[in-house]
């Protein structure tokens, strides 16, 4: 009985260790941030409130980690966060024909406040 329990623990440890390494070594998502006018806002779904002025909103039908908005409705300031594709992340800006002139961040949510 005890040898089978020890064997089971060793097998689980062998499976869990590579999974932990993959999760730990994953690079955080990068986002392209653009300022959006209120007229250009799509129909948004309220996600959650950051503080009394700012909220995070999502577009229906699009994954929340692909495109989301940080909205400050009191000052009419809206930021659209679009997840960078792999070509944006790996492209060299010096060789790109038209590199985007947008705000960039490397933290998980890409929130940038002025």
User: How many domains does the structure of the chain reveal?
Assistant: 1
Judge whether 69 lies within some domain. Answer: yes
20 occurs within a structural domain = no
- Greater model confidence, 45 or 112: 45
Q: Kindly report, residue by residue over 40-75, the tens digit of the pLDDT.
A: 777 888 889 998 889 999 988 888 888 999 998 888
pLDDT averaged over the chain? 77
Band the pLDDT of 90: cuts 50, 70, 90: low
Range of the structural domain that residue 91 is part of: 28-105
50 assigned to some structural domain: yes
**Residue 104 reports pLDDT greater than 50:** no
**Token pair listed for 95:** 């060789």
How far is it, in rounded angstroms, from Cα 114 to Cα 33?
13
**Following DSSP, what letter does each residue of 29-51 receive, concatenated?**
P-EEEEEE-GGG---EEEEEESS
Where do the H-state alpha helices sit in the chain?
2-25, 86-90
């Amino acid at each position: 009985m005890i040898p089978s329990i020890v064997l089971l623990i060793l097998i689980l440890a062998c499976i869990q260790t590579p999974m932990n390494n993959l999760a730990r070594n994953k690079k955080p998502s990068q986002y392209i941030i653009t300022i959006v006018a209120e007229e250009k806002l799509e129909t948004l779904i309220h996600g959650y409130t950051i503080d009394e002025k700012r909220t995070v909103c999502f577009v229906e039908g699009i994954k929340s980690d692909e495109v989301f908005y940080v909205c400050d409705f009191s000052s009419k300031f809206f930021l659209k966060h679009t997840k960078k594709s792999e070509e944006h992340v790996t492209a060299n800006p010096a060789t790109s024909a038209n590199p985007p002139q947008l705000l960039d961040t490397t933290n998980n949510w890409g929130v940038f406040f002025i």
